[in-house]
Amino acid sequence: MDMAQERTSIDLSELRERIENARPDPLWKELSLSKKVRILLIERLEQIEQQKTSSTQDKGNA
Q: Kindly report the pTM of this predicted structure.
A: 0.76
Tell me the residue length of the chain.
62
Query: Tell me: the pLDDT tens digits for 3-61?
Result: 667 889 999 999 999 999 999 999 999 999 999 999 999 999 999 999 998 887 777 77
Looking at residue 9, what is its pLDDT? 93
> Does residue 1 have a pLDDT over 70?
no
Calpha distance 9→55 (Å, rounded) = 33
Looking at residue 35, what is its pLDDT? 97
Looking at residue 2, what is its pLDDT? 63
Of 7 and 2, the structure prediction assigns the larger pLDDT to 7
Which own/partner contact pairs does 23-29 have at CB distance under 8 Å and 24+ positions apart? Answer: none
